[in-house]
Amino acid sequence: MKKRILFLSLIFLISLASASCKKISKESENKEVILTSFTVLADIIDNLAKDEFIVRSLTKPGVEVHGYKPTPSDLVKASNAFVFVDNGFGFELWAEKFVSNLKVKRITVAEDLDPIFVTEDFYKGKPNPHAWISPKRGILYVDILVESLSELRPSKREIFEENGRIYKDKLSKIDEEFSLFINNLDEDRRYLVSCEGAFSYLTSDYGMKEVYLWPVNAESQITPRRMARTISIVKNKNIPTVFCESTVSDESQMVVVRETGAKFGGDLFVDSLSVDGGPASTYIKMLEHNLHLIKKGLY
Ligand SMILES: [Zn+2]
C-alpha cells in the first residue's frame, strides 16, 4: 500500500514538473499574450492561434463574469498583454473602465455580431450578451476571431484559417446533431427553462421557447412575480425538466421543482467553463454537456 502511494506521488510530481516545463518553454519563446475577459473566449482563441500566441483568461473557471471586479494584478496582466479580447454586448460590465487606462489593443467580438435584445428588467432593450451559447453563433465567433488574428499577424493567416476550418467542423457536427434532435421533438416539448435568460440565441436558433427566472445575472433578482410566472408556465405546458447554471445558486429553481413536480436537469455552463477535469473544461465540451443535458431532460 505504502509503495503504491509512493508510486502515485511520484507520478503526480512528474506530471507537475512536466506541466510547468511546458509552460516555461512556451513562455520563454517570448510569445505575445492574448488576454481574454473569460474562459470561453480563451479556449476558442487557443484553438485558432495554437502556437502563435499565449492565450489566457482574466477571469478563472467558475467565476461569475458579468459583475467581476478586476484586481490590481489583473491590471498588470492586461498592461503586459498584446491584445485584450472581450465579448461585448454588455457582458463584461467592468471592461470599459478596465481598459480605459490601458494602452492595449482591444478586440470586441460582438461588434461583428447581430444581437438578440433582452425584453425586460434593467437590461430591457439591450443586447443579450450570451451569443456563444448557440453552436451556430459559435461558428460566427470563429470567423470573427480568425479574421482578428489574421489582422494581428497577417503572415499567419493561412494557419489561422486552417485551424478555424478544423474547429468549425466540430461545431457544425454539434449543430447538426442538435438540429436533428429538435426536429424530432414534439413542438410542445421544445421549452428550455433556466435560471438566467442566457439561452436566447440557442432557443432562437433552434426553434425553442425560452423561460427563465431572471433575465441577466448581476442587477437581476428573482421576484415573487417571476417565480409565479415560471411555475405557472412549467405547470401549464407540462414541461418535464428545468435547469440552472453553474455560476449561480440553483436554490430558486429548486422551488420551481418542488412546486411543479418537474425534474431538475442539472447545471448548464454558460458564463464560464469548468476547471480542468470538469464536465465543461473546453468550449466544445461545454456545448456537448449542455446539449446532452437538454436532450436528456426534454426527450
Ligand atoms: Zn450570464
pLDDT in tens, 111-125: 999 999 998 888 899
Q: Quick one: pLDDT at residue 122?
A: 80
* Tens-place pLDDT, residues 230-266: 999 999 999 999 999 998 899 999 999 999 999 999 9
Q: Quick one: pLDDT at residue 221?
A: 73
CA of 105 to the centre of ligand 1 (A): 25
> Does 6 have pLDDT greater than 80?
no
CA of 274 to the centre of ligand 1 (A): 15
| pLDDT band of 217, cuts 50, 70, 90 | confident
CA of 289 to the centre of ligand 1 (A): 17
Q: Strand, coil or helix: what is 88? A: coil
Rounded Cα distance, 277 and 39, in Å: 15
CA of 161 to the centre of ligand 1 (A): 29
| pLDDT band of 101, cuts 50, 70, 90 | confident
Q: What is the CA angle 43-49-51, rounded to 5?
A: 105
CA of 104 to the centre of ligand 1 (A): 25
CA of 260 to the centre of ligand 1 (A): 25
**Strand 33-36 relative to strand 54-57, pairing:** parallel
Domain spans, the chain: 186-298
CA of 253 to the centre of ligand 1 (A): 16
- Residue 186 zone, left/alpha/beta (φ > 0; ψ -120 to 50; rest): beta
Q: Is the dihedral of CA 219, 225, 227, 230 positive or negative?
A: negative
**Residue the block writes with cell 511520484:** 10
Rounded Cα distance, 129 and 90, in Å: 6
17 vs 166, more confident: 166
CA of 139 to the centre of ligand 1 (A): 20
| pLDDT band of 29, cuts 50, 70, 90 | low
| pLDDT band of 105, cuts 50, 70, 90 | very high
0.85 exceeded by pTM:
yes
CA of 251 to the centre of ligand 1 (A): 17
CA of 269 to the centre of ligand 1 (A): 10
Rounded Cα distance, 82 and 67, in Å: 24
Give the cell for residue 53.
Answer: 500566441
> Does 3 have pLDDT greater than 50?
no
CA of 2 to the centre of ligand 1 (A): 47
Q: Quick one: pLDDT at residue 107?
A: 98
Domain at 186-298: CATH code: 3.40.50.1980
CA of 245 to the centre of ligand 1 (A): 9
